[in-house]
Structure 1
């Protein structure tokens, strides 16, 4: 770190935001875990249907995460510039954008649901039926889910990660309890599982809207939609959408390549990829602190403070990556047993976990840099960089297929992907193009 191992006031600020953010990030997967645990006891076709529907819903969530990231950076920048009224106005327009996008996406999803399910669900009619039921009911909660993202973005932007954590945890627990009552108590099946999540998401969205309404009243902001502001948000979100799409596309290609290598390899890849995803959520806590603090510093015309904070976050990203890497390496012989009893899959997964463990320090720095540049609003660069890194991953994967190489080489391609992101973002951070100051970028 830039000032060695000595704890500074900057570290206090980073972790004041990062710890609650970590709690919220870990709480988010509890929705899916609760559904999986409960639906899995109903039957295998229901669990298969949940897997298909959840993959569609999680993709929608990932594609629209810009509502949180973009709002955080914009609100933090306005807050730093002392533009509290404009920050509250930004929150209102983010809610309108989320609501509009959620309604449109839900309607389109409802119409296309049979096609989407058929494309992903194989040929088992029971699985397809359960997937369709779960997906169509869940789509009623999609506007609320996107409103939640916008609400989280506003609160993070005003340097508050505690309330999003409280809502994430409370709604996850409420979802689980309601699901138990409806599914087991009233024997309502997979549809009740989806309905429980819709109710929890709607309640959480209502809490965020109430908090934002308080801020609006305090600063006397108009609640009506502002087409110009919404358009500006959508344009900023477009770059983040491209970035996320490029990332998702590259990672999806790895699944297809793993399937070509072999069934055991695919199973091991899936297990290890899920573990890697959870670790990414943990490492993302520093990135979220970066989004809020960097935006605040640049809005306040403090580019050197932004750079100092960025260096500190890079250091903490590396430290966090080393810590999670050591844990993964230590547990690599044991973790696969939690997911499968197949000896061949266990051996492959244990081997791939070595790749994950040794790659964690790089991942920690990459995620920290992501947060710094998102906080700076340097979104066009991030989109282009992710496309470039994605091309490296896809080319590496195709070489693995052409050479008939094993699953370890596919993970070597993933290392190359992360290394490319690292080099590109470090190069960007070393310059000053990202340090645009003032209320607007």
Structure 2
């Protein structure tokens, strides 16, 4: 991550990541169980579990960070506890719906899971590589740049991921329509969720453009960090429609089981974006990193649009 040995970021980062790693099993387990609940079209249970877990995180954060004076380590511990709480709630509810012990190996469909799982893993690695590299490049410009970048990045991602609700709903309905070969319903659903996504993205853009001008001080009082945050705000706000469309296009294509295209297109998008990150970061610094990330999300949205817009793959019926 380009953190130097004499950097004040090194020790807190190592402590945080070490403690957060203890929550990895809970994170993966909860994500898998949320996928199961989506498959049976139960979106309430994951919502309730996540709200309870996040509420616990919000309560525990100030206690561990300030009362017990554990600082960054306290934030990590609070997060790990919340993740295990979410997993326990989901597991408790899932046992009522699903027989977790399959009666035979054939029923596990290991080959199918490995194929689709590996494709999605490739996609996640490619996408994560871009964001991770961006953080690494921001680190090279010093602690001020890194602090401002992390504040903007977390807001950028959190706002965009609000669209995940649309993406998940579209994915579940489209998957059901494809299974029944009801292509008219699949087309109508894809069209509607994309329309909602565009409107939602525009609303988010306006809210962030106005709100962040006044709420930046909630994150820091450092004048240098605040100045860089103000530089990142236009990128965070302006890219929201693109980000939301990119996430929803992902959900639509997942619903069509178009995992191969999703994986390989992301690898191509990530490769181009990584080249942009290196080039723009070296020539334009902090601003260049945000331009490259905006390019990354634009290419993601374009890749999703091309698949449906040209009627390729599972969307071939659109040509008829």
Fold-level similarity (TM above 0.5): yes
Show the 5 A alignment for 1:193-232: 200-216=82-98, 223-224=102-103, 226=105, 229-232=109-112
Against the structure 1 CA distance between its residues 328 and 174, is the aligned structure 2 distance closer, same or farther, given a 3 Å change threshold? closer
Which of 288, 294, 297 is residue 415 of structure 1 equivalent to?
294
Against the structure 1 CA distance between its residues 327 and 237, is the aligned structure 2 distance closer, same or farther, given a 3 Å change threshold? same
Taking structure 2 as the reference length, the TM-score comes to 0.82
The equivalent of 1:19 in structure 2 is none
Instruction: Map Cα deviations across residues 120-159 of structure 1 (whole Å, 9 max, x no partner).
Output: 7956897488558735xx62x5434322222211111122
The equivalent of 1:249 in structure 2 is 129
Whether the 8 Å CA contact 2:161–2:244 is kept in 1: the answer is: no
The equivalent of 1:162 in structure 2 is 44
Which stretches in structure 1 are left out of the alignment for 5+ residues?
1-54, 56-118
The equivalent of 1:150 in structure 2 is 32
Against the structure 1 CA distance between its residues 159 and 355, is the aligned structure 2 distance closer, same or farther, given a 3 Å change threshold? same
Structure number with greater CO (CA < 8 Å, separation at least 6) is 1
Instruction: Map Cα deviations across residues 358-413 of structure 1 (whole Å, 9 max, x no partner).
Output: 111111211111110112111111111111111221121222245x3242233222
The equivalent of 2:194 in structure 1 is 314
Instruction: Map Cα deviations across residues 236-273 of structure 1 (whole Å, 9 max, x no partner).
Output: 11111111111111112222333344554333222211
Counterparts of 2:247 and 2:13, CA distance in 1: 37
Against the structure 1 CA distance between its residues 184 and 236, is the aligned structure 2 distance closer, same or farther, given a 3 Å change threshold? same
Whether the 8 Å CA contact 1:144–1:205 is kept in 2: the answer is: yes
Whether the 8 Å CA contact 1:315–1:365 is kept in 2: the answer is: no
Q: Which moved more, 1:167-176 or 1:156-165?
A: 167-176
The equivalent of 1:32 in structure 2 is none
- Per-residue deviation, 1:192: 8.5
Taking structure 1 as the reference length, the TM-score comes to 0.62
Whether the 8 Å CA contact 1:321–1:362 is kept in 2: the answer is: yes
Provide the aligned C-alpha RMSD in A.
Answer: 3.4
Q: How many residues are matched?
A: 312
Does 2:156 match 1:272?
no
Q: Which moved more, 1:369-378 or 1:229-238?
A: 229-238
The equivalent of 2:204 in structure 1 is 324
Q: Secondary structure at the match of 1:205?
A: helix
Counterparts of 1:268 and 1:388, CA distance in 2: 29
Which of 287, 305, 322 is residue 185 of structure 2 equivalent to?
305
Against the structure 1 CA distance between its residues 209 and 274, is the aligned structure 2 distance closer, same or farther, given a 3 Å change threshold? closer
Whether the 8 Å CA contact 1:428–1:434 is kept in 2: the answer is: no
- Per-residue deviation, 1:350: 1.2
The equivalent of 1:134 in structure 2 is 19
Show the 5 A alignment for 1:30-429: 122=5, 127=12, 130-131=15-16, 134-135=19-20, 139=22, 141-174=23-56, 200-216=82-98, 223-224=102-103, 226=105, 229-261=109-141, 263-402=143-282, 404-429=283-308
The equivalent of 1:102 in structure 2 is none
Which stretches in structure 2 are left out of the alignment for 5+ residues?
none
Q: Secondary structure at the match of 2:214?
A: coil
Q: Secondary structure at the match of 1:301?
A: coil
